[in-house]
A and B are shown apart, each in its own frame.
Chain A
């Protein structure tokens, strides 16, 4: 079946079965991690997969994401999933003090990215109507 997977910044529609078993290509598209003999790898880092989380070129993304320490949630029907950022990843980024970059639209849909403002002091502030 086709499932919708929500990551902290993206939304993907991919083919998956028995939860989040999917091709290595789709696993990379969704997670940004590449299947290699030593595990799932991104940049210089590789995370070994549990032995039962890879089979015939397919990856159990649910098991991998939990190994990373990230939350994995599913809708009741199993058609929509959310992969949350691992707490440790968020803490490491914030303790590094480099302002996490983001891209968000303005009210007319024009995308703005924080890092475009390098060279300026930025007062980043939230509000809401509620």
Chain B
């Protein structure tokens, strides 16, 4: 998905690191990775360690890091939009207007990455970056530990107990779509996009599923 961008910018000191939040492991992610023909780093994160370290709640989210290792844009939605919420669920299609708007938003995001690499535009000053950083609460910290324990228990055949830990984790950190959907996917491939997911998306009302980046 990011290969074109990487090809275009790789000679300008640019790198893409794509991390699969994928508790089913490398073999489950492999078909997508091979299909993408990517030459940037494609890493496998079975324990959602990146989400723990960077306080992420969904995929795709991106963090921009400068040449000195400093975060210049905190976690934000990476090119996805909420247009899918108006999709016709029977035909799985979006209106032509929504398809166009979705594509335009993605292009705008890719252009912003280009501008950053070429001119430094969109890199936030330290105070602004800090202000946009989502805060880790004690509930989130506990949810991360329970999620980790749940993945481990499931991985060792203790499915019921693992599911229970992951369920408590999701309830402690309801903003995390990644935890809840990963837990559903571990129960059954496809369940992450099942009726429970759509019910929760509908319950958002006016709130976004993918908050738009503030570019």
Q: Give me the interface of A with B, judged by CB distance under 8 Å.
A: 4, 6, 8-9, 11, 69-73, 75-76, 80-87, 90-91, 93-95, 97-100, 102, 104-109, 112, 114-115, 117-130
Contact yes or no, B16 A104, CB < 8 A: no
How many contacting A-B pairs (Cβ < 8 A)?
Answer: 213
Partner of A123, one of B16, B52, B59: B16
Tell me how far the C-beta of A128 lies from the nearest C-beta in chain B, rounded to whole angstroms.
5
- Whether the pair B14, A8 counts as a contact (CB closer than 8 A) is no
Q: Is the C-beta of B104 less than 8 angstroms from some C-beta in chain A?
A: no
Within residues 102 to 146 of chain B, which ones have a CB less than 8 A from any CB in chain A? 113, 116-117, 126, 129-130, 133, 135-138, 140-142, 144-146
The answer to whether B117 touches A121 (Cβ under 8 A) is: yes
- Residues of A near B182 (CB, < 8 A) are 128, 130
**What 5 A-B pairs have minimum CB-CB distances, sorted nearest first?**
A84-B145, A130-B185, A130-B192, A82-B149, A71-B142
**Contacting residues, chain B, for A75 (C-beta < 8 A):** 149, 153, 158, 161
Flag if A97 contacts B19 (CB, 8 Å): no
User: Is there an interface contact between B69 and A107, defined as CB atoms closer than 8 Å?
Assistant: no
For A4, A6, A72, A100, the residue with the greatest tally of chain B CB atoms inside 10 Å of its CB is A100
Contact A9 B70 (CB under 8 A): no
A88 to B32: give the CA distance in the assembly, Å.
Answer: 36
Contact A73 B165 (CB under 8 A): yes
